[in-house]
Amino acid sequence: MGMDFVVEVKKVEEEEEVESKYLKGVRYLCENNITRVPNKYILPLASRPEKGRKAAAAQTLKLPVIDLAKLRSPGCRLQVLETLAKACENYGFFQVVNHGIDGELVSRMASVGKRFFELPFEERVKYMTSDVRAPVRCGTSVNQVVDSVFYWRDFLKLTCRPLESVLPHWPSSPMDLREEAKSYAERSKSLFLELVEAILDSLGVGTGMLPEFEDGSHLMVVNCYPRCPEPNLTLGMPPHSDYGFLTLLLQDDVHGLQVQCEGEWVTVEPVPDSLVVNVGDHLEIFSNGRYKSVLHRVLVNSIKSRISIASLHSLPVDRMVSPSRNSSARATRGSTRIQTSPRSLTTCPPARPSRKTFWTPGS
């Protein structure tokens, strides 16, 4: 065996060892006290967050507020529906207050989500799989199997339908995870149904579809963004839109979520006791482009880890989503049809975030 060959094999083995370390996730990496961002996470210059960072830091966005208490009050409902429609048309995002999910439950859910990522790696690895249909999936970046550059994020994905049959597959540690996540998932589903009823109302399409939503898909994603020694070189999540009808996002008090607004990245101001809600691709299609599924991304920082819990809701996975025939959900940019299959993200190159394009069959 030649010396060159031995050196080459050793190099490949070393590279494989380094790669497999990254597959263990950002938390694992951080537990080893790194002081620099490894090359694997360094985005190309044009995709890094510092481009326009000063402006973005100065620009925080107070999202339109939807007060559920007012939505429930017959005297105020119409006005709230108007605010809701404008928010979905102009921002694709809004903030819900008085949402009715008990504050204690929200805190317990956030706490158990955080504690899951504090478990020893040997416990978390039990749930690491590349099978996107698994009822529970732990991983890192966006899609660690295909990402050439990794994002500074670990995740735990819990399929929430049908709840009783997926529950035994959810992590048994921390001990309270199943109980808290089940309660939170149930409350999130109820809130989604209430919001989707309002959305259908605001579009003037009637609420005949509600039973379909009751049977709809529901995925809960706990995102963990550990402190990052060089946050200007990477992102927690790239610009993307969500696939579903609505996403209900619970974020802690750490800034990170940015929304694209008039071509600029603006940071969403976390508001205590509220949930951030955004329009997903399915709703954009259903409303024929009237409501916007807007690109968003996540910044990381060097001071504080961040946790968020996204609940993605839509119609059943085998249901075809197409534009509503009702005239008030009229076409503003053509239309398309899409299968509600479990595709998790629509991403685009971070440097050039663009609007998705729609077409009308026959146009």
Ligand X SMILES: O=C(O)CCC(=O)C(=O)O
- Residue 257 binds ligand X, judged by CB under 6 A: yes
Which segment (127-135, 178-186, 208-216, 248-256) binds ligand X by CB under 6 A? 248-256
Considering the complex, state which of residue 249 and residue 285 has its C-beta at the smaller distance from ligand X: 249
- Residue pair 30/41 in contact (Cβ under 8 Å)? The answer is no
Indicate the residue among 166 and 275 with the shorter CB distance to ligand X: 275
Asked if 256 is part of the footprint of ligand X (rule: CB under 6 A), the reply reads yes
User: What is the smallest separation between the CB atom of 236 and ligand X, expressed in angstroms?
Assistant: 7
Q: Which stretch binds ligand X (CB under 6 A): 70-78, 144-152, 176-184, 249-257?
A: 249-257
Please list every residue from 279 through 338 that binds ligand X, using CB under 6 A: 296, 298, 308, 310
Range in contact with ligand X (rule: CB under 6 A) among 26-34, 51-59, 209-217, 251-259:
251-259
Residue 221's beta-bridge partner residues? Answer: 157, 310
The residue among 71 and 306 lying less far from ligand X, judged by its C-beta, is 306
Residue number, 68 or 249, with CB nearest to ligand X: 249
Residue 237 CB, shortest distance to ligand X, in Å, is: 5
- Tell which one of 140, 223, 324, 336 touches ligand X (CB under 6 A): 223
- Peptide bond just before 162 cis, omega within 30 deg: yes
Cis omega before residue 174 (within 30°)?
yes
What is the distance between the alpha carbons of residues 252 and 254, in angstroms, rounded to a whole number?
Answer: 6
Q: Which two tokens stand for residue 236?
A: 């927690």
Residue facing ligand X at closest CB distance: 308
| Footprint (CB under 6 A) of ligand X, residues 151-210 | none
Distance CA 148, CA 140 (A): 13
Contact characters 30-69, ligand X, x per CB under 6 A? ----------------------------------------
Sequence-ordered strand ranges (E) for 146-236: 154-159, 218-225
Least separation in angstroms between residue 16's CB and ligand X is 30
Gap between the Cα atoms of 271 and 122, Å rounded: 35
Cα separations (Å) of 258 from 57, 118, 149, 247, 291? 10, 26, 20, 15, 19
Alpha-carbon distance 191 to 3, whole Å? 65
Measured from the CB atom, the residue of 154 and 242 that comes closer to ligand X is 242
Q: How far apart are CA 186 and CA 165, in angstroms?
A: 14
Distances (CA, A) of 278 to 64, 91, 192, 242, 283: 11, 9, 11, 8, 10
Residues that bind ligand X (CB under 6 A): 221, 223, 237, 242, 249, 251, 256-257, 296, 298, 308, 310
